[in-house]
Amino acid sequence: MIFYKTDDEIELLRLSNQLVAKTHGEIAKLIKPGVSTIKLDKVAEEFIRDNGGIPGFLNYGGFPNTLCISINEHVVHGLPSIRELKDGDIVSVDCGVLLNGYYGDSAYTYGVGDITHQDQQLLRITKESLYKGIENAIVGKRLGDVSYAIQEHVTRAGYSIVREMVGHGIGQKLHEDPQVPNYGKRGRGIKLLNGLVIAIEPMINMGAREIVQLEDGWTMATKDNKKSAHFEHTVAIHNGKADILSSFEFIEEVLNKNS
């Protein structure tokens, strides 16, 4: 069942997602060789709680951490640990927040130190594909138009799309209907109506699309061990248009200062 949101609910969702965005800004300051992923997790948890939120992923379905941190061939749901980031890694950080009864959810893939041109391209295409999907999240389109726009951009560049993991509706629950695949056919799926709030999150592999679950029971990795990238925004269809409730602004302020 799809829960369409009122204008007031969309503003509450915006607050949750802005806290996610600011948390990402704090994480972006720390992304460098030698930092452990558990440190990133602790910083995120403290920042979220200090700002009146509750970590959205912690204990969700038994997940033991605040952040999903997925390095290189890890696609999503990676567990923070004492593992330290290394120069040349790419690292996807997925963050969720519960604030005022509503969830925020956003992911960004960071380059650590100097990354290869190949990896830069993977990150660029994945991020671009997210915005291609968002451009189609408007009244009058269908969900398949969002999915197709992502797929078309990614496959044209020679990358593959993870099919088992998809985006989702979001509101008072972290995962609501509808599912939002990153592949599909134009003109198919539900009609997009005002009040629909969805997390759009392309997960894109440099090699083949197949993934496997690791022994920790959480981490999903590429089967061929090639790298994977992941970007996510929470988007409301509001006044007929795509209204991005999350933001990469705080991340990019930090990254631009460091470049």
Domain harbouring 141, CATH code: 3.90.230.10
In a domain, 25, yes or no: yes
Domain count, the chain: 1
In a domain, 2, yes or no: no
Q: Which residues have CB under 8 Å from 239's CB, separation 6+?
A: 194
SS3 content of the chain, % helix, strand, coil (to 5): 30, 30, 40
Asked if residue 231 lies in contact with residue 128, where contact means CB atoms within 8 angstroms, the answer is no
pLDDT of res. 97:
98
In a domain, 102, yes or no: yes
Mind listing the pLDDT tens digit of every residue in the chain (259 residues)?
A: 999 999 999 999 999 999 999 999 999 999 999 999 999 999 999 999 999 999 999 999 999 999 999 999 999 999 999 999 999 999 999 999 999 999 999 999 999 999 999 999 999 999 999 999 999 999 999 999 999 999 999 999 999 999 999 999 999 999 999 999 999 999 999 999 999 999 999 999 999 999 999 999 999 999 999 999 999 999 999 999 999 999 999 999 999 998 7
In a domain, 1, yes or no: no
CB atoms within 10 A of CB 69: 28
> How far is Cα 129 from Cα 201, in angstroms, rounded to an integer?
9
Token pair recorded at residue 111: 């380059």
CB atoms within 10 A of CB 9: 18
For the whole model, what pTM was predicted? 0.97
Which among 145, 146, 67, 65 is positioned nearest to 105, based on CA atoms? 67
In a domain, 188, yes or no: yes
- Report the DSSP pairing between strands 176-180 and 203-205: unpaired
> How far is Cα 20 from Cα 54, in angstroms, rounded to an integer?
11
Domain with 77, as residue range(s), is 7-258
pLDDT of res. 31:
97
CA distances for 115 relative to 67, 72, 132, 215, 222, angstroms: 23, 11, 24, 28, 19
pLDDT of res. 142:
98
- Report the DSSP pairing between strands 67-71 and 90-99: antiparallel
- In the chain, the amino acid numbered 223 is K
Ramachandran quadrant class, 34 (left: phi over 0; alpha: psi -120 to 50; beta: rest): left
> How far is Cα 141 from Cα 125, in angstroms, rounded to an integer?
23
pLDDT of res. 258:
83
Which among 29, 106, 104, 31 is positioned nearest to 71, based on CA atoms? 31
Asked if residue 98 lies in contact with residue 53, where contact means CB atoms within 8 angstroms, the answer is yes
